[in-house]
Structure 1
Amino acid sequence: MANLLALPFSDLYRLQELSPKERKEKTLAALLALLEGFAVQQPVYMIVEDIHWIDPTSLELLTATMEHVRQLRVLLLITTRLEFTPTWPSYPHMTTIPLARVGRRHGAALVKRVTGGKTLPGEVMDEILARTDGVPLFIEELTKTVLEAGVLREGEECYELNGEHLHAIPKTLHGSLLARLDRLGPSREIAQIGAVIGREFSYELLRAVTATPESELRAALDRLVASELVYRRSTPALTTYVFKHALVRDAAEDMLLRARRKDLHDAIAHALEERFAEIVEAQPELIAHHYLKADNVAKAASYLSIAGARALSHSALKEAREHITQALQMISELPEDDGRRRDELQLRIALARTLLEQKGYADQQVGEAYIQARDFSKRVGDAGMYLASLYGLWAHNYIRGKPIAMLEQADEFLAFADRQNEMGPIVVGHRLVGTSRLIQGHIADAGYALHQAVVRYDPDEHGAASAVGQSLRARFGQDVGVTVYSYRSWALWLSGQPADAEKAAQAALQRRQALKYDNQSRFYALWHAGMAYVLLRNADKVAETGSRLTELAHDRGLPYWQALGNFLRGWRVTRAGRPEDAIELLQEGLRLWAQTGSRIFRPICLAFLADAYAAGDKPDLAHQTFEEALRIVSETGERWAEPEIHRLFGDLLARYGPPAAAIARYERAIDIAHEQGSRSFELRATTSLAQVLSDRGRRSEAHDILLDIYRTFDVGCGTADLGDAKTLLEASANP
């Protein structure tokens, strides 16, 4: 709550660092909890007015409140104009009451309240009610206009006509308001200045803008308050004034000539900048508004850029996008020079980040925004922004499952980082190339690139505690050490070094421990280490990492990481002999995965599901799912797991189909694994083939083909795959 209100607070009350999205969610939850606490103590009457002007984040809170209050002792009253479209469904506990225009009886009662109970001449009452057409504000204001216009003479119990003609009465609400304001004398100018400030204005800001002496200013404000066109709200620290209605404020502002209005906006903006630092900090969009009205586009764009960054930091994503988009439109009107180009680049990067937070890396708009940012940063010659936008584009193609495009961006990133000769980005560049190569199934090339990243990575310089490491993390998504060791563990296992792979996975998890405030890097480490343990067939470790990842992601409402946690748990549950539970977990994971727009890892996760179908005695579903996985491999070029998909497909055919079909699948898996340099998948597929051959009496052949690959491994490391191969070799050698 202190963060929401921009209040200082001590470290004693400091929460763990959260992402902007998580901070916003927890803040909204805290506000709902406050409301619930008040309702426990006593019934609560809550009023939210004029929501046709509501901002997106407040609307999000109100929508959540609508759902929440049905369980509480709360009466929630909301007022809005007809043009507002609610974002919530029609709840049983909600009643909509359209407010019609008031009838003659209620209109007359309202007139009598304004006159203090004294009656008006019948023809005056008829004229007021006819002209106001049942609009309460117009009835009030026109009645006051008549009383102030001098057309009536006040008696003890009633008013009488003073000989004036009724045509002096304004025919519109706007005209009535103008007439009332016009009769305020010196107070009119103060009302006009206040109207330019806004619907609500403080005495301090008004005093800073006007040249009126303080005694005269207070007298003018007193007269405004007495007219009931403006209300005063006073606290010991602050006195503010509020126009009775937005239409009153509009009428006062409309009385000003354009040049005078422009000068006032400029004066207000300068006063806010110079004397109200807390408003500059909390509401930069307000200063932007005044500078825009003053035709100072450069200043307006600058403050809108600040407002966009602030909204993004609070995960107010709709507001951030609106501010940044408007700033980009403004800045395009300015003369093109180096300063404008730098500012525009900052805005384009900010827009890409906002779209990323709003829609996720997979969204097409995010990719387009990063393409624009990359091209613009190249034109401007900003190396840091160029690399940041290249990384964003790489990540977009990574999540979209486009490894060919990934590799193009990774090569471009590394080449540029080498030319800049900055070691941190060079480490990142080798990691991107290694990851891209691995996803395509070029295991030896991936291993080389990731080794280059490891030998250049300095934990003291690039680690989580260093300024450089934190900068790299902010620019390129996650902790560098976590990402390097995560993919190195996969590359080592695939290339036939399981013991080293396990050490790399442990290194990624150890670095995660130092990142307790960086959820993205922690999740990243858990998923990739968990997948390394899947490859190692370490079921206990898979269960541990999968459960932790799912728990953390569920607590924070992050479907991307929830899905990956489900994939790990689904694989583990299949091995525990509970295929139906595994199918449910994997299907839910794939549903969440599709929801995020992600396509990376879909082939291997479909293979997990197909394997669960097979374990659950659903061969037709398993067959269809394996075919779908291989179709996606062919479409996307994500080939790293292709040998394993063929091998698992072969296991299905060995159980339910002709042995020849299973043998063909195993041979296909072996050929692909050998071509890729994926020695561990080659060993696994060869073991499966040898088992089928041995079962068909071809034990000598099975022994020979398995021994050829088995002897290339360090057999002392004791992995499950090597254990299976050794057992089969011993059985086939001793018929």
Structure 2
Amino acid sequence: MSIPIQPLTDEQIASLLSHLPGTMVQYIQTRAAGNPFFAEELARTVETQIAPSTSHVVDSHSARSMAPNLASDIIDTELTLPDTIAAVLELRMSRLTPACQRLLGNAAVLGGSFTFHVIQQMEVGVNANANEDTILDLLEEAIQAGVITEEGSGTRINYQFWHPLLVSHLYDQLSAARRARLHRRAAQVLQEVYRGHEEEGAAMIVNHLVAGGAEPLQVVHYAALAGDRSYNLSAYPEAEGFYRIAVAQLDEHIGPSLSNATQDERSQLAYFLERLGECTRVQGNYEEARHLYERVLAVRSYQRSYTTPTEYQYEAQIDALLWREIALTWYDVGDSLHAQECCERGEQVLREAEVVGGAAWATLRFQESYHYWQDGNYDEAHKMASEALCLFEEALQKQEPSRTNAFQTTGTKRTLAGDPVNLGRIQTLIGVIADMAGDHHEALTSLQSALRVFEQYNRQREIANVCCNLGDVYLRKAEHELAHAAFRRSIHIAERIGDVPLMSVVFGNLGVLAARSGNLQEAEEWIKRGIKLAEQIKDQIYISIWHIYLSITFQDQGKWAEARKSIVYALSISRSTNNTPYIGFALIIIGNMHMMQSKLLDHSQENINQEYNNSKLEDLEETVNIQRFHFLKRSQHVLERALALEGLESETRIEGKLSLVQLFLLQGELNRAWQQAINTLEEARQNELIWQPARAQSLMGSILAAQGQMEQA
């Protein structure tokens, strides 16, 4: 009698292996495929084979935070299948005839599943005695033994191995020479299967060509097809892998010097490097992306000559746009100085080539607008963005329709060809600037226009980005359901395409939304997830922003020590990056903390009144009053410093002014508090905010109550 047992879920496997680092748990989850025996045996092997070899890179306190790439590389290169698992697999295989075992061993090079047509063609190529009936007999034998399963019907029959570890076991038993031969044969068969639509099977073909040791240029061809297909589907992590293969194989073909390469090969190398740079930057690998773009410039400049002035100007514009890409890798880590220097290099290139107007200048103005926006200079930011928009529109009008929207080309060449998506990017920036400046009507109008452009051209990454910005506008307007829907659409796309920087932003925004909805524990969890990703990619700006919001969440939960630690850290980062808007935001939160400390003293004084006699009470009251006075003065000093800064976001400035209202109320300056509340209420209403006017009215009620006007309060 046999009792069927369902495979364990990933959550159950994780619970079983909770003592291991997360990356190793994920590896075992994939390999064990729900089998608890395999999971436990793999865990023992990981602990004995992997843990000692990693002692030089992690200690017992940091094992759980091991770099994911490092951990997975170590596992892949050092883990040997445990003898206990190998014995179980051998026992099952021993029930099969030698011919069936050999067939399945050959099929293992195809991975976890294969079709009848492919395995038939492979067998015919490596075994002269193979025929359709013989192969079917062997497959039926394997099915009856429970080693493989069969799905589909007619010409669409697929075979699936019983377990992924069986595939690994069979593959490991093949000699290196046989593996290479089988991989080459598999590549040949798949090329025939996908003839006429090779891009659909290019990913499988290139992996077999690499494993089979094929000629570099043949590998490059299929790696390019696979990379471009993934890139055009916005699958950036997958595209990155294929472009890496293409670059490595092309480098191997060219050799140590570019002098060995033809002009076409150098152009091809520059193409792969630029695409690879974009894929790595999207995932937050800014330093590597920078080096890749710098290498693109070096490859393009090697023995370059021009036949016409027009060609010279065109190539100069490409170079200028590459400098802008390098600038972005600095900007994304909060280094505005280096970013500005790169943009200036791009401008210099354009001036030397006597380029006037056009998409390259528009892109540099676009980037300059970002710098002004980050500094809090919203008027100049809006001016530069509007200038960039005009330049892009003029450039589009001059382009021939046939050159617009070039599909299989680099971002820089798409820009010069007249990519209409750039109009959406400019509208997005204009919307963000308007949002920060408090003009939510213009923000929504611009962002929704941008979304229509991105949806028209199916630019998934841009759709995710603009949805995140729309969510932020709705959040500021306290339209929480719309904000939640926008954030959810954004994170769904960001996670699918591997956009780590955007995932960090959306996680943090979901935390702010949860806090505004009163779900403080949920808010803390979301914001911490945002911080973790921001730290992973070294995004100083969002590390600072999310620590500010984390501090607010800690305060609301009464976790004062944690709140103080987070806000001090956020302020130090904002100062190091010279980010005025968030320096001011952090100072306002610090001012609020001083104010709350004074209110806590009021509560402690109430307890003192109940516990001490009159003689001691007077002395303690005087001490408490002195401390309270100092906290309030410190709060006022910090708040006024913050509000004196140029470039605060409108919401931040109103928040600071409302904090002053509360401060004046606590100090007993009721007339001053009332006037400040009236002015701030009007400003908040003009900015179409919801929750801040409500807070202003609540404070006004407290002021009236303090004046004895209970009915009006």
- Which TM bucket (shorter chain)? 0.5 to 0.7
* 1:684 alignment counterpart: 655
Letter in 1 for 2:267: R
1:289-308 matched pairs, under 5 angstroms: 302-308=217-223
Question: Structure 2 regions of 5+ residues with no counterpart?
Answer: 6-25, 38-48, 50-73, 91-97, 103-119, 134-172, 231-237, 305-311, 599-630, 708-713
* 2:32 alignment counterpart: 67
Q: Secondary structure at the match of 1:719?
A: coil
Structure 1 residues 552 and 528, CA, compared in 2 at 3 Å: closer, same or farther? same
* 2:153 alignment counterpart: none
Are positions 1:491 and 2:420 aligned together? Answer: no
Q: Deviations over 1:80-115 (max 9, x none)?
A: xx9x97579789997124999xxxxxxxxxxxx9xx
Letter in 1 for 2:555: A
Mapped partners of 2:175, 2:88: distance in 1: 20
Deviation at 1:411, TM superposition (A): 4.5
Q: Secondary structure at the match of 2:85?
A: coil
Structure 1 residues 67 and 593, CA, compared in 2 at 3 Å: closer, same or farther? farther
* 2:689 alignment counterpart: 719
Deviation at 1:344, TM superposition (A): 4.0
Question: Structure 1 regions of 5+ residues with no counterpart?
Answer: 1-38, 41-60, 73-81, 101-112, 114-136, 138-199, 207-228, 237-243, 253-264, 294-299
Structure 1 residues 246 and 655, CA, compared in 2 at 3 Å: closer, same or farther? closer
Deviation at 1:393, TM superposition (A): 2.0
Mapped partners of 2:129, 2:27: distance in 1: 27
Deviation at 1:646, TM superposition (A): 1.7
Deviation at 1:306, TM superposition (A): 2.6
Are positions 1:550 and 2:491 aligned together? Answer: yes
Counterpart selection for 1:406 from 307, 327, 339:
339
Are positions 1:670 and 2:643 aligned together? Answer: yes
1:534-683 matched pairs, under 5 angstroms: 534-554=475-495, 559-657=500-598, 658-672=631-645, 675-676=646-647, 678=649, 681-683=652-654
Counterpart selection for 1:696 from 653, 662, 667:
667
Q: Secondary structure at the match of 1:95?
A: helix
Is the 1:496–1:680 contact (alpha carbons within 8 Å) kept by the matching residues of 2?
yes
Counterpart selection for 1:448 from 367, 383, 391:
383
Deviation at 1:416, TM superposition (A): 5.3
Is the 2:376–2:647 contact (alpha carbons within 8 Å) kept by the matching residues of 1?
yes
Structure 1 residues 95 and 395, CA, compared in 2 at 3 Å: closer, same or farther? same
* 1:342 alignment counterpart: 267
More helix by share: 2
Is the 1:431–1:450 contact (alpha carbons within 8 Å) kept by the matching residues of 2?
yes
1:265-280 matched pairs, under 5 angstroms: none
Is the 1:288–1:302 contact (alpha carbons within 8 Å) kept by the matching residues of 2?
no
Mapped partners of 1:247, 1:678: distance in 2: 63
Deviation at 1:466, TM superposition (A): 9.6
Are positions 1:309 and 2:210 aligned together? Answer: no
Deviation at 1:369, TM superposition (A): 1.4
Mapped partners of 1:710, 1:65: distance in 2: 56
Mapped partners of 1:596, 1:688: distance in 2: 34
Mapped partners of 1:405, 1:596: distance in 2: 18
Counterpart selection for 2:85 from 84, 95, 112:
95
Structure 1 residues 642 and 365, CA, compared in 2 at 3 Å: closer, same or farther? same
1:180-195 matched pairs, under 5 angstroms: none
Structure 1 residues 331 and 98, CA, compared in 2 at 3 Å: closer, same or farther? farther
Mapped partners of 1:459, 1:69: distance in 2: 59
Deviation at 1:580, TM superposition (A): 1.6
Deviation at 1:509, TM superposition (A): 4.0
Mapped partners of 1:696, 1:540: distance in 2: 38
* 2:287 alignment counterpart: 364
Structure 1 residues 341 and 364, CA, compared in 2 at 3 Å: closer, same or farther? same
Structure 1 residues 489 and 323, CA, compared in 2 at 3 Å: closer, same or farther? closer
Is the 2:365–2:387 contact (alpha carbons within 8 Å) kept by the matching residues of 1?
yes
Is the 1:609–1:622 contact (alpha carbons within 8 Å) kept by the matching residues of 2?
yes
Structure 1 residues 303 and 580, CA, compared in 2 at 3 Å: closer, same or farther? same
1:116-515 matched pairs, under 5 angstroms: 231-233=128-130, 282=202, 302-312=217-227, 313-314=229-230, 315=238, 317-318=240-241, 320-332=243-255, 333=257, 334-335=259-260, 338-339=263-264, 341-353=266-278, 355-356=280-281, 360-378=283-301, 380=304, 382-383=315-316, 385-387=318-320, 389-413=322-346, 420-421=355-356, 423-458=358-393, 461=396, 468=404, 474-475=411-412, 479-514=421-456
Mapped partners of 2:29, 2:634: distance in 1: 56
Structure 1 residues 537 and 354, CA, compared in 2 at 3 Å: closer, same or farther? closer
Structure 1 residues 727 and 70, CA, compared in 2 at 3 Å: closer, same or farther? closer
Structure 1 residues 441 and 470, CA, compared in 2 at 3 Å: closer, same or farther? farther
Q: Secondary structure at the match of 2:540?
A: coil
Between Structure 1 and Structure 2, how many residues are aligned? 516
Structure 1 residues 454 and 556, CA, compared in 2 at 3 Å: closer, same or farther? closer
Is the 1:431–1:483 contact (alpha carbons within 8 Å) kept by the matching residues of 2?
no
Mapped partners of 2:129, 2:365: distance in 1: 64
Q: Secondary structure at the match of 1:588?
A: helix
Is the 1:308–1:324 contact (alpha carbons within 8 Å) kept by the matching residues of 2?
no
Is the 2:433–2:443 contact (alpha carbons within 8 Å) kept by the matching residues of 1?
yes
Structure 1 residues 246 and 717, CA, compared in 2 at 3 Å: closer, same or farther? closer
Letter in 1 for 2:369: G
Letter in 1 for 2:388: A
Mapped partners of 2:265, 2:495: distance in 1: 43
Structure 1 range deviating more: 610-619 or 548-557: 548-557
* 2:234 alignment counterpart: none
* 2:472 alignment counterpart: 531
Letter in 1 for 2:86: T
Deviation at 1:608, TM superposition (A): 1.2
Q: Deviations over 1:155-200 (max 9, x none)?
A: xxxxxxxxxxxxxxxxxxxxxxxxxxxxxxxxxxxxxxxxxxxxx9
Q: Secondary structure at the match of 1:691?
A: helix
Is the 1:461–1:469 contact (alpha carbons within 8 Å) kept by the matching residues of 2?
no
Is the 2:321–2:360 contact (alpha carbons within 8 Å) kept by the matching residues of 1?
no
Deviation at 1:664, TM superposition (A): 2.0
* 1:9 alignment counterpart: none
Structure 1 residues 705 and 408, CA, compared in 2 at 3 Å: closer, same or farther? farther
Structure 2-normalised TM-score? 0.58
Deviation at 1:498, TM superposition (A): 4.1
* 2:117 alignment counterpart: none
Mapped partners of 1:534, 1:246: distance in 2: 60
Letter in 2 for 1:491: I
Mapped partners of 1:451, 1:726: distance in 2: 37
Q: Secondary structure at the match of 1:641?
A: helix
Structure 1 residues 546 and 303, CA, compared in 2 at 3 Å: closer, same or farther? same
Q: Deviations over 1:682-725 (max 9, x none)?
A: 343223213312332224444666778888x6965643346766
Q: Deviations over 1:214-249 (max 9, x none)?
A: xxxxxxxxxxxxxxx96454569xxxxxxx996988
Structure 1 residues 717 and 645, CA, compared in 2 at 3 Å: closer, same or farther? closer
Is the 1:70–1:93 contact (alpha carbons within 8 Å) kept by the matching residues of 2?
no
Is the 1:473–1:479 contact (alpha carbons within 8 Å) kept by the matching residues of 2?
no
Structure 1 residues 428 and 373, CA, compared in 2 at 3 Å: closer, same or farther? same
Q: Secondary structure at the match of 1:309?
A: helix
Mapped partners of 2:542, 2:391: distance in 1: 28
Q: Secondary structure at the match of 1:446?
A: helix
Q: Secondary structure at the match of 1:637?
A: coil
* 1:222 alignment counterpart: none
Is the 2:405–2:420 contact (alpha carbons within 8 Å) kept by the matching residues of 1?
no
Mapped partners of 2:662, 2:452: distance in 1: 38
